[in-house]
Amino acid sequence: MAPASNPANGTGSHTSDAEISDKERFFVQAPVAPLREDGLITFTIGTVVFIVLAIAAYFWRVPLGDAGLGWWFWVAVSGAVIGVLAISYGILRRRRMGQTRTTASDAAAKKLP
């Protein structure tokens, strides 16, 4: 077999395939760029769900209270408040980092010659 470069150990030395351990074969860094997603869409969807649940729990507060589940309203309200805080943080972070959200088609168009 032809000697192969072994970048896993950082020396750049040449070793045969038999000398490469299973660990070095298994833990190889994929040549893929990391995602640049900030999670703002996820925060927004979750917050909207919690707001809808809080409104529904408000209108059903009497039956929920009778069943001993009146705390569901407060869980939904606290989830909505935490979601609003997360959205605010995400917007501030996006502005601070100067990121703009690009779609997959925009990214693909940039790669075309």
- What residues contact 20, with CB distance under 8 A and at least 6 apart? 4, 6, 8
Instruction: Give pLDDT, residue 94.
Output: 86
Return the higher-pLDDT residue of 10 and 20.
Answer: 20
**What is the C-alpha to C-alpha distance for residues 13 and 88, in angstroms, rounded to an integer?**
50
Residue 56 has pLDDT above 70, yes or no: yes
99 has pLDDT over 70? no
- Global confidence as pTM: 0.57
Phi-psi region of 37 (alpha: psi -120 to 50; beta: other; left: phi over 0): beta
Q: Which amino acid makes up residue 68?
A: G
pLDDT for 29 equals 73
Contacts from 54-63 at CB under 8 Å and sequence distance 24+?
A: 54/79, 54/80
